[in-house]
Amino acid sequence: MEADFWHQMWRSGRVGFHQPDVNAFLKKHWKKLNLSGHEQVFVPLCGKSLDMLWLNQQGHTVLGVELSEKALQEFVTENGLQATTLKHPRFSGFEMDKMSLLSGDFFDVSVKECREVKAVYDRAALVALPPEMRQQYASHLKAVLAPGVPILLIAMDYDQSLQSGPPFAVSALEVKALFEDRFNIEKVESDTFERKGVQTTENVFVLIPKT
């Protein structure tokens, strides 16, 4: 996907992918990562997700990365947060108590930014990318994470021929192909529903690093 596509989506307010509530799967399954509650959590392609506030409320610090600075500004403003301007050589964005939001390209995130990350939450990143970019995304994510970092991943699956993305269809088989080299993958829940006239299944995966 071209960066201009996402900037235009946020400028025009066409953000149907934004959820107005905390994700129910996150609240139900986060505990399966067996965290203490004080770790830093990486949220790629975070948008203005309220899930980040929920993670904060559980005691976690949050590192978010998002292409659109407008999305991050809306997150700060709509939630009445006190933020300072991020000082970084490659990203703009915002700093808050227990939260750093980087505005820029996910593929510019390096090991340095992720050195404190102990878990990843992906609800809207993998499914936002077309097939040719998903392998790049998975490879880059694995490259910047330290060993031992678990992931909670939510993916949507449907007949891609019936509907164009984003969000794109990502099957359980594709999740396995992308991540099984480094992770033991467990599908912990599936929910099937109709979305825009197309039968859709949302799958929740817990990815635990192999030892």
Going by the annotation, the residues of the binding site for S-adenosyl-L-methionine are 10, 45, 66, 123
CA separation (Å) from 146 to 75, 130, 155? Answer: 28, 26, 23
Instruction: In whole angstroms, give the CA distance from residue 35 to residue 190.
Output: 23
Determine which helix (DSSP H) or strand (DSSP E) holds 40, and give its type and residue range: strand 40-44
Q: Which residues are annotated as a binding site?
A: 10, 45, 66, 123
Closest CA to 129 of 90, 92, 178: 178
Side-chain-facing half-sphere of 177: CA atoms under 13 Å: 9
Identify whether the C-beta of residue 187 lies closer than 8 Å to the C-beta of residue 173: no
The residue type found at 112 is: K
As to burial, measured by CB atoms within 10 angstroms (0-12 exposed, 13-18 middle, 19+ buried), residue 101 is: buried
Instruction: In whole angstroms, give the CA distance from residue 140 to residue 137.
Output: 5
